[in-house]
């Protein structure tokens, strides 16, 4: 069966998966929570091992955002379990989040994680899904480039702040030299609102570079 890759803003497809923590139905299993589903090419590979260790090290920060983690590859459950044991024994890191064993490749195909020009294993895909089961961000990396886990964490936090305050997030936030931790107000949708912003900026009530580029603190 041919699947179309799900798109940002669409509902995450309903899938039953077998994991190192047992059978799960997605996105139902994480109902009311955000989650990050990420695929890796294979167990017992160096780059994937570094990624899993970094995801685990950042797990407390994902938890703080109410966001769960779940990995995936086309390896079998016993391989995942043995690899997790190896990481704990040799690297002294206990991987506590579940890993999907997609040994038939059906989940990977449905989510567009297998790219034929890059072989038969899953590439490094990332799906950030919100607490309503909606796909909010998708990333794809090739097998040879490991991900920046802090960027995935930053993206989750940025999306949550955008939702809560109705704002946009600057490049490199929260370490943008122009804006710092401030975020961006949506552009005005009327002449009147544009003029109001100009006046507020002049009086110091609003920080703006121009009427269409104004900042807001959310702290």
- Cα–Cα nearest to 30, from 63, 79, 76, 78: 63
Annotation marks residue 67 as catalytic: no
Catalytic residue set: 48
């Amino acid at each position: 069966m041919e699947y179309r890759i799900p798109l940002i803003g669409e509902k995450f497809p309903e899938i039953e998966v077998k994991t190192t923590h047992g059978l799960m139905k997605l996105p139902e299993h994480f109902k009311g929570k955000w989650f990050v589903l990420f695929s890796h090419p294979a167990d017992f590979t160096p780059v994937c091992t570094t990624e899993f260790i970094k995801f685990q090290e950042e797990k407390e920060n994902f938890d703080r955002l109410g966001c769960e983690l779940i990995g995936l590859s086309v390896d079998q459950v016993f391989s995942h379990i043995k690899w997790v044991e190896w990481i704990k024994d040799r690297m002294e890191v206990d991987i506590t989040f579940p890993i999907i064993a997609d040994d038939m490749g059906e989940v990977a195909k449905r989510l567009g994680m297998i790219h034929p020009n890059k072989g038969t294993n899953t590439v490094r895909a990332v799906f950030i899904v919100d607490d309503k089961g909606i796909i909010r961000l998708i990333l794809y990396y090739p097998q040879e480039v490991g991900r920046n886990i802090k960027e995935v964490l930053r993206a989750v936090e940025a999306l949550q702040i955008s939702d809560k305050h109705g704002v946009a997030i600057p490049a490199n936030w929260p370490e943008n030299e122009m804006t710092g931790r401030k975020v961006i107000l949506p552009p005005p949708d009327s002449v009147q609102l544009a003029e109001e912003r100009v006046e507020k900026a002049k009086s110091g009530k609003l920080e703006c570079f121009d009427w269409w580029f104004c900042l807001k603190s959310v702290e």
